[in-house]
Every structure is written in structure tokens, then in C-alpha cells.
A and B are shown apart, each in its own frame.
Chain A
Amino acid sequence: MAVDVEAVDRPRVASQPAAPVPRRRTRWFAPRRNIPDRAYGGLAVASFIAAFLFWEWVSHQNFADPVFLPSPEKVWAAALGFLSEGDLLTDVKVSFLRVSAGFLISALLAIPIGILMGAFKVGEGLMQPLTEFVRYIPVPALIPLMMVLFGIGELPKMMLIFVGTFFQLVLMVADEIRRVPYDLLQAGYTLGAKRRELVLKILWPAAMPGIFDALRLCNGWAWTYLVVAELVAANEGLGYRILKFSRYLQTPKIYVYLILLGIIGLSLDVLFRRFNRAAFHWAATDRR
């Protein structure tokens, strides 16, 4: 059958009112495609609400012993209780200081050493295999040794956090340095840069965004090791207090502390991200 060419060719929109600008459809499940920021935030909030509702529901069922899974109301009451009495603020302060001190020392040493390891093969040969070896010693296994070496004061706790993060961080910094395109170094050479400048004026600034992102990850690990350190020998601090509460089966209080640890961790993470994005705006990243 013949096609009516005229009909096919006839402009169709001419007589109709101006068509609205087609809205771009959001592809919700296309791999790695962006979705609107508001939808992303909404999903995040929804996930928290869902987790909360689930907790609320489970805690009122019979199969969960309220000693082990207190209801949100009880936890909330415990949280309010800390406002009038208890050492919550002291615990946060003490723990925060321990993490910060251990983490700071670790970062201050790991960054220059990592740069040397990443920039020079001699440095890599000298330090990389040794670091890899130490990295695989589980940090909690070092606690008894730390106590023998440094007693039971603040020092062993800081040292544990230091040991836990330092060896990871050194390797990550070295990797970031190695990831800097060699092209940039070659350009530096032809512009007259010498060894020192190649490292300080090219490798370091080029690797900085990656190094600061490594710091963000390491800060999270530092909090993990903090609790491990405090579980064993301490008189105050978040980890110590959790252990004490468990001894007296005060589960609602444990939950308050756990949620607090989550909030502290998340806030630090957000702060790190904000800082990195502002400081390294020149590096285009689509990472959220």
C-alpha cells in the first residue's frame, strides 16, 4: 500500500498551541546518573526515618527483650537524663582530645613520609614493604604491649590511635603522590624546576585533594581505635562509659552513646568534605 507522503510530511504542530518546553525526565535507575539534589536529600532523610520506625516497631514486639533492645522512648529519656547528671560532656571532651591528638601526630608524620615514599623509589623501597608489614598487625593486638610500654594514662591511647592510622595514611599519601600524572612533572622539568620544586611545587599541590580525602577517611578509623583503646583501660571517655553501662545492663544509655558516636563521626565527615570542596575547588569532582 502506498504511503501518503503528504500526510507524513505535513507539519503537525503548526495549528496546535505552542507546545510546552518538554521537561527532562529524571532517569532514576540509570547507572551513575545524577538525580536532583532535593531528591537525594529526601532519600537520605527517609532512610533515617525508616530505620527509626523499624526500631520503634521491633522494640514493641514481644520477641525483643527490652533489656537488649530498649524502645526509642526509653533511650530518649536516658538522653534527657544525661542533661541533669552524668559525665557525657566530659566523656566527649576527653575522647575528642585523644582522637585529635593521635590523629594529628599521625597526619603530621604520615604526610611528609608518604610524600617521600611516593616521590622517590628509594623511599618506596626503604619504607613501603616495612609499612605494609606493620599495617597487617591488628591494632587491638597491640593494646597489651602499649600498656606495658606506656602505662595506663593518656599516652597508650594516643599511641594506639597513632599506630592504627599512621601506617594506613602513609600508604594512602604515597599512592596519591604516585597518581599525579607524570606529564605534570615533565612539564615542570622543561620549565626549569629542580628536584625540590618538583616535589613541593608540583607533586604536593597536585596530590593535596586526594591527601585531604585520605585524612577524612583516616579520621573515621581513628574513632574506631579510640573506642577499642578505651574499652580496655580508662577512667573516662565514650568507650569506657559504654563498657561500664553494659556491666550494669543500662542499655538505653549505651544506645545514647552509640548514637552520639554516629553523630560525631558524621559531623566530622561533613566538615572535612565541606573544607575539601572549598579548598580544592579547582579539582573538578562529581563525587558526592
Chain B
Amino acid sequence: MPGGRLQIRDVSKTFVARNKVTQALVPTSFDIEPGEFVSLVGPSGCGKSTLLYIVAGLEDCSGGEVLVNGVSVCDPGPDRGMVFQNYTLFPWLTVKENTRFPLTLAANALAYELSEAEVRTRLDRIAALIELMGLGDFEHAYPRELSGGMKQRVAIARALANEPAVLLMDEPFGALDAQTREEMQELVLLVRQHLQTTILFVTHDVDEAVFLSDRILVMTPRPGRVRADLRVNLASPRTVEGKLEPEFIRLKREIFGMLHEGRDTTGARDTLLRRMFSNEGAKSPQMTTDDHR
């Protein structure tokens, strides 16, 4: 399944709460070429997840439009698969049934006008996907019997079962431990190498973004906008050892620099901490009245 082209045209988002208008996302535009892996990184609350949800059609945008293969999309649809940060497997279905769920939806069968033979091919592909994900022995297990990493693998397989034009991933490994996360990253690279899917990936882990992406879009704090569009020139196939390459480290440093810009560097926090924890500070009258109440 070849990946699709994703175009973001002046997409913006404003929230209205208690008569106050907050701009979460200033009009943003960028293109993602078929088969490209693009990461969105930025400080938390910068609107990167909001942008992803707008692309998925789960959130309305206040302006602009999203195009998949040149067609404007508004509502959620099977052409944009999504892997969520939380575990969203259907607990009453087994691993196999979860990954086949998209095929049981009438809308999908109609939209693609799948013949019986095509459905068979799809089912075979799903079976291959389950194998590729290392879930072969767990086909008949229920989600509650799976570890966090395995749940996300099933979620990825389920999203890919639809053969979407674009795969959207919202900090999919945020809840996993460091080692599992690394395994999952390698798995994503493997899957992508086989399927050539276009992927838009949201993360706040710079390391993860550099390791996985062809391009990284760095966002500013709220109101969010894309401040840098960086190309990752690392040898493929990528390996964990590649994380020690000078180019990898250079990119990481560059992005870190952008993300940490504007942070408190005056040392005001240090002074405060020193006052709180030194004996001198404890004697100060304000501190004692507050703490011993």
C-alpha cells in the first residue's frame, strides 16, 4: 500500500472559554510527501496533539483545511489511521478480532467496494502484519492479558489493517518504559520499511523524533506554530547504534536548543531553592508560619 500525500493548509485553532479567546495554533501550513515520516516536536501544550487530532478529523479546526491526496477532509475517516497515546483496544475482542475490526465495518467495505477475493487478501495481510509485530502467539489473547507494549503493537496493526493513506501517531510510546519504547521504535521503522506508509508522529521525546523521522517540525510554545523544518540525513536502515553518530547528536542538540530557549536562566529558581533548604532560610519568619500551620 503506497502512502498518501498530506497537505496542511493554514490550519488554525482557537478555543473560547469563559468569554476569553485563546489561540492554540496559529495558521500553519506544511506538506508531507507520500511515504515520508514526519515528527512534530514541541513543549507540552504547544498544540501538536491538537494539530494531529484536527488532521484525524476528531477535532474541528477554526480555519484552513487538511487535504489527503488532494481531497479536502473534515470528518474522521479510514484514510487516516490513528494510534493513540492511551490504550484504545476493544477489550471484548481478541488480538486477531481487534485487528480485523476495521474490515467488519460496513462503511469501509462500501467505500473500497471490496470483493470477496480482496477481503481475503486483506485478511492475509493482516495475518502477516500480526506476525511481523511478533503477536503470532497472542492472536487469541484478550487486551487485558497483554503488556503495554503489546497493546500498542496491536493498536498499530489495527490502524494499519485499514491500509490508510496516512498513519497518525500521538505519543504512542509515552506510557512505555525506556526499553520497550526502544523496541517499539525499531518495530515502527521495520513496519514502515515494509509498507511505505506516510506517517505523522507526535512526540516530546527528541531522541525518538530524530531516530524515526525523515523530517522534524519543531513547534513553539502556545500559541503553537512551526518554527523549524529540519531534514534528518541519517543512513538507512537506522539502527540503535546510529544514535551515537555525530549527525544524530548534532540534530538533537539543535532541537534541544530550540525547545529550551526562553527558559529561566537567571537563576531565580536556584536562589529560591537555596533559601528554602538552607538553615538560614528556615529561620525566616514567613517560612515558619506557613509551614507549621
User: Which of A54-62, A197-205, A261-269 lies at the interface with chain B?
Assistant: A197-205
User: Which of B73-81, B193-201, B218-226 lies at the interface with chain A?
Assistant: B73-81
When distances are taken between beta carbons in the complex, the residues of chain B under 8 Å from A280 are 92
A residues apposed to B, CB below 8 Å: 181, 183-184, 186-187, 189-194, 197, 201-202, 205-206, 208, 280-284
Q: How far is the CB of B141 from chain A (nearest CB, A)?
A: 10
Query: A192 and B107 in contact (CB under 8 A), knowing A183-B84, A186-B58, A186-B84?
Result: yes
Report yes or no: B81 in contact with A190, Cβ–Cβ below 8 A. Answer: yes
Residue B106 at the A interface, CB < 8 A? yes
B residues apposed to A, CB below 8 Å: 56-58, 76-78, 80-82, 84, 86, 88, 90-92, 101-102, 104-108, 111, 142-144, 155, 158-159, 162, 168
19 residue pairs from A and B, CB less than 8 Å apart: A183-B84, A183-B86, A186-B76, A189-B57, A190-B77, A190-B80, A191-B101, A191-B102, A191-B158, A192-B78, A192-B111, A194-B107, A201-B101, A205-B92, A206-B90, A206-B91, A206-B92, A281-B142, A283-B92
User: Complex formed: what's the CA distance from A205 to B94 in Å?
Assistant: 13
Query: A205 and B80 in contact (CB under 8 A), knowing A190-B58, A192-B105, A193-B107?
Result: no
Query: A283 and B90 in contact (CB under 8 A), knowing A183-B84, A191-B159, A194-B107?
Result: no
Report yes or no: B142 in contact with A192, Cβ–Cβ below 8 A. Answer: no
User: Complex formed: what's the CA distance from A187 to B155 in Å?
Assistant: 9
Name B78's contact: one of A181, A191, A283 (CB within 8 Å). A191
- Nearest opposing residue in chain B for A197, CB measure: B105
Q: How far is the CB of B88 from chain A (nearest CB, A)?
A: 4
Q: Which of B102, B105, B144, B168 has the most CB of A within 10 A?
A: B105
User: Complex formed: what's the CA distance from A280 to B88 in Å?
Assistant: 18
- Nearest opposing residue in chain A for B56, CB measure: A190
Name A184's contact: one of B80, B82, B90 (CB within 8 Å). B90
When distances are taken between beta carbons in the complex, the residues of chain A under 8 Å from B144 are 282-284
Q: Which of A181, A189, A191, A205 has the most CB of B within 10 A?
A: A191
User: Complex formed: what's the CA distance from A186 to B52 in Å?
Assistant: 13
Report yes or no: B88 in contact with A186, Cβ–Cβ below 8 A. Answer: yes
Report yes or no: B88 in contact with A183, Cβ–Cβ below 8 A. Answer: yes
Report yes or no: B77 in contact with A192, Cβ–Cβ below 8 A. Answer: yes
When distances are taken between beta carbons in the complex, the residues of chain A under 8 Å from B162 are 191-192
User: Complex formed: what's the CA distance from A214 to B291 in Å?
Assistant: 48
- Nearest opposing residue in chain A for B164, CB measure: A190
- Nearest opposing residue in chain A for B104, CB measure: A201
When distances are taken between beta carbons in the complex, the residues of chain B under 8 Å from A189 are 56-58, 76
User: Complex formed: what's the CA distance from A194 to B90 in Å?
Assistant: 16
When distances are taken between beta carbons in the complex, the residues of chain B under 8 Å from A281 are 142
Query: A184 and B107 in contact (CB under 8 A), knowing A191-B102, A191-B159, A284-B144?
Result: no
User: Complex formed: what's the CA distance from A206 to B88 in Å?
Assistant: 12
User: Complex formed: what's the CA distance from A191 to B126 in Å?
Assistant: 14
Q: How far is the CB of B155 from chain A (nearest CB, A)?
A: 8
